Structure 1
Amino acid sequence: MDRSAFFLSLLSLLVCLLPILQACPSNCHCHGGELQHVICDNVGLRKIPKVSEQTRLLNLQRNNFPVLPTNAFREMKGLVSLHLQHSQIKEISSGAFRGLKQLVYLYLSNNDISVIKMGAFDDLSELTYLYLDHNKISDLPKGLLSPLINLFILQLGSNKIRELRSGTFSGAKDLRWLYLSDNSLSSVQPGALDDVENLAVFHLDKNQLSTYPVAAMSKLRVVEDLKLSHNPMKVIPDYAFQSFGRYMETLSLDNMGLEKFSDKAFAGVTTLKTVHIENNRLNQLPGNFPFSSLENLTLSNNPWLCSCQLAALRKWLESSRSRPDAVCASPSQYRGQQIRDTAALRNCKLPTRRPRKGNRH
């Protein structure tokens, strides 16, 4: 091949590559076949850049996008993962993510989002992971999440949500992990959880719930991890966990000012392994407290009344490898003594179960 033919071939190749070479936005880093990953982390962007339709991952963290406009990503039809953390977002317009029918991961954490217009999540039928924590969201209108039929994890921690109304999660029937920690929730209305009955992880800690939302919670079927810590709740009522008691393994009720479990609070609970009830005002435990499957129990800083009512607790403490701290507050002569060691319970007998009728032969 002569020199002129070589340069002609090289020029043709460059012309073919030019659209790809131009596809990487200014100051960004692009890699992967056909620029599948576009990284524009902290490069001073104020407008959503244009990228190749082949792009699979777009990282726009630490830029400045006060409003995500309608059709902001419409040409990015192949996008699977979109990162918009720390981008000073205040508002998400209706149809902002229109066209992203293959998107699986959407990260919107650590922004100033207070307005999410209805229709904002249109077209996100494949979205599985949605992170909206550390924002200023105060309301979740009915229907907002309806397009998210494949949503599996929803992170809404550290916002300003005040209540969950009936229909809040309409459409999100596959949701399994829901995080609502550190909000301003004072009400979970009946019907609020009807559409997410398959939740496995449900965190409601650090809110303002003063009563346990029995009606709403009774719709849940398979909760394994329930966290209610740091809510001003004094009583856990009868049948609180019955609808999912066969599945619940971890229960966190610490730092609540909790004073009492109703006699049937743990009805139906059979698989509980870890319970946190420290830093409350409890002096007794109900007769049906589920010690049989329990592996870990934290119960310090409660004013325990060391009477025979705690005999089952004493027996569990004696056999526990973790040796948690549990001290008598009364009667006065036993104050400060460890429940597992105190003479107050030395002669107590555990209640015996009556044999069921029909067992005799």
Structure 2
Amino acid sequence: MGELVQGSEQTCRMCGVTELGKARQKLRVLLLAWLLIGFEIQGTWACPELCECDGLTVTCSDATEIPVDIPPETTVLMFPRHRFTNLPGYTFVPHNLRNLRELHLRRGNLEVINENAFHGLPELTKLHLDYNNLQNIDANAFDSLGKVDHLYLYYNKLQRIRARQFVGLPALRWMSLSFNALTDIPANAFQGLEHLTTLYIRYNHLSELGDYQSFSGLHKLQMLSLENNHALRTVGDETFSQLYSLTDLELGGNQLTSDSFTEATFSGLHKLHTLNFHNNPLGLVPSLALKAIPQLDTLRLTSCQLRSVRQNDFEYAPDLKQLFLDDNVALKQIPAHTLSELEQLEILDFSRNSVTDILAFSFQNATSLKKLFITDSKLSGIEEDGLDGLVNLDELNLSNNELTTLPKTALDSIPYSDSLKIDLGDNPWACDCHLRDFLQWVDKHYDAPQIQQIFNITEHQPKCLSPPQNAGRSIFDIPTHDLSCEAPPPKDIGHEENQRRVTIGSCVGLAIVVILCTVLSILFYRRRQRKLRDMLRRYGSRDNVSSFPLDDNVSI
């Protein structure tokens, strides 16, 4: 029995040794594999000469050619300030960059991109070609880039794009062609870009937009910017008619007038919500063109040289919520008749115009208005009920005008809320009896913290310009007894009367002296004449006496 137990113990010891040996062998294998993998990774990630590597990002500045030893695991490859002028076909195929996600060829001298230049980059999603000297992109240059969703082509020298130029980019969602020299957009230029949602063609040389074929195929486009094509004067009928998903259209900074648009210009834009005309010489609101887009909620007419706002200018845009009429210096009155048509209006900017007064009931029907801006203008007066109707207002900006006072109940119709902001800064306030009633109304309706919150007095205080004793002080810091209209000091009437009498007396005295001197002179002269006659009678004949020129006509 003892031998059996001893044998069992010996067998267990042998089993333990065997298991320990196996564990050690496995550990050696794992360590060797780890070392081999480490050596392989280190060998794979040898950074190309003259480049910098940070993880899976490789940056080769001022490169004259593409290095041959770029690690194939690279996901971001950047060539800032490169010196390539030409990108031949199949440029990247030998480098086996099948994991590359972003390629930056920015700020260089690239002039030409040849067909199939980007073959071999199946995972690429971002392609940066901006800030180059690109003048020509061959047809099919973007073939095989099935996953690219962002293409940056701004700040180049492109004068034209071809029909179907981007057909190899079916996943593209965002593209910028701004700051080039494009003179027109050919038919079917964007065919194949079925997923494009954002397109910028700003700062080019476009002079006209053709028919619907210019933007055909862009059924999912949501934002189109054609701003600052300074020669653009003509927009064709139905130019945008196939942009069924467009929500934002920017046409600012061109040479468009109200005559550039017809009733059909915006046909088909059933989802358009924002239309920007800023900095065009429109002259008048192109009201007829708005007929096709009644769902419009934001209209920007900033700096459009508007001569007037007519009665029915916005009758076809009843859902407008934001209207910008700022920087139209010919506008002198709040268009109250127009506001009555816009029952949904929430934001109105009427700044930098020539309005001088807000007449009574100008906003009587603007009950939905939440923000009102009338800044940097010539506003000098607000009538008693000028702000009546603004029952939902939470921001009022009247800064930098010529206001000196406000009527007592100017803010009576504007209810208090935690978000209410009123800016009265940079006005020449006259802190005298004329402003007293308004400030007393403010003190009655708001406590000190509310005044500080509403009127933003910690950052943009409304300050007194006059009278001298109050100049420079916040209008909300003036005690009531200092808001007086003192009459000028009474004149010293007695002193003035004395001065007047002295002056009159002096004049009379001088006149008497002159008269007396004259009389005495005449008397003296006549007496002398008589003496002379008597002397001649005694010593000469009568004929000789008559020959003297005696003045007998002198009289007193």
> What TM-score range do you get, normalising by the shorter chain?
0.7 to 0.9
1:260 and 2:381 are equivalent in the alignment:
yes
Alpha carbons of structure 1 residues 299 and 51: separation in structure 2 relative to 1, 3 Å = same
- Structure 1 match to 2:228: 110
Alpha carbons of structure 1 residues 70 and 51: separation in structure 2 relative to 1, 3 Å = closer
- Structure 2 match to 1:312: 441
Aligned residues: 330
1:218 and 2:348 are equivalent in the alignment:
no
Alpha carbons of structure 1 residues 31 and 250: separation in structure 2 relative to 1, 3 Å = farther
CA apart distance, 1:176: 1.9
Letter of the 2:423 partner, please give it: T
Q: Normalized against structure 1, the TM-score is what? A: 0.78
2:205 aligned residue (76, 88, 98): 88
Alpha carbons of structure 1 residues 165 and 130: separation in structure 2 relative to 1, 3 Å = closer
CA apart distance, 1:141: 2.3
Instruction: Write the distance in 2 (CA, Å) between the matches of 1:314 and 1:181.
Output: 37
CA apart distance, 1:127: 0.7
- Structure 2 match to 1:243: 365
1:150 and 2:271 are equivalent in the alignment:
yes
Q: 1:127-276, aligned counterparts within 5 Å?
A: 127-139=246-258, 141-143=261-263, 144-208=265-329, 209-245=331-367, 247-276=368-397
Instruction: Write the distance in 2 (CA, Å) between the matches of 1:83 and 1:31.
Output: 23
Please give the per-residue CA displacement for 1:225-272, whole angstroms capped at 9, x wherever unaligned.
211110001122333333332x32221111110122233222221222
Higher helix share: 2
Alpha carbons of structure 1 residues 103 and 338: separation in structure 2 relative to 1, 3 Å = closer
Alpha carbons of structure 1 residues 225 and 317: separation in structure 2 relative to 1, 3 Å = farther
2:183 aligned residue (45, 61, 66): 66
1:98 and 2:220 are equivalent in the alignment:
no
CA apart distance, 1:330: 5.0
Please give the per-residue CA displacement for 1:25-48, whole angstroms capped at 9, x wherever unaligned.
549778974544444333432222
Letter of the 1:236 partner, please give it: I
1:47 and 2:169 are equivalent in the alignment:
no
Instruction: Write the distance in 1 (CA, Å) between the matches of 2:161 and 2:364.
Output: 49
Instruction: Write the distance in 1 (CA, Å) between the matches of 2:223 and 2:286.
Output: 26
Alpha carbons of structure 1 residues 301 and 339: separation in structure 2 relative to 1, 3 Å = same
Instruction: Write the distance in 2 (CA, Å) between the matches of 1:165 and 1:234.
Output: 26
Instruction: Write the distance in 2 (CA, Å) between the matches of 1:302 and 1:190.
Output: 31
1:326 and 2:462 are equivalent in the alignment:
yes
Q: Is the 8 A contact 1:168 1:192 kept in 2?
A: no
Q: Is the 8 A contact 2:147 2:172 kept in 1?
A: no
Q: Is the 8 A contact 1:31 1:38 kept in 2?
A: no
Alpha carbons of structure 1 residues 168 and 231: separation in structure 2 relative to 1, 3 Å = farther
For structure 1, list consecutive stretches of 5 or more residues without a partner in the other structure.
1-17, 349-361
CA apart distance, 1:198: 2.0
Q: Normalized against structure 2, the TM-score is what? A: 0.53
Q: 1:18-37, aligned counterparts within 5 Å?
A: 21=119, 26=138, 33-37=146-150
Please give the per-residue CA displacement for 1:190-247, whole angstroms capped at 9, x wherever unaligned.
22212222222222111121122222222112222211110001122333333332x3
Instruction: Write the distance in 1 (CA, Å) between the matches of 2:462 and 2:291.
Output: 44
CA apart distance, 1:334: 4.3
CA apart distance, 1:339: 1.8
1:56 and 2:192 are equivalent in the alignment:
no
CA RMSD of aligned residues (A): 3.3
Letter of the 2:166 partner, please give it: V
- Structure 2 match to 1:7: none
Task: Determine which structure has more spread, i.e. the larger CA radius of gyration.
Answer: 2
CA apart distance, 1:115: 2.2
Q: Is the 8 A contact 2:119 2:144 kept in 1?
A: no
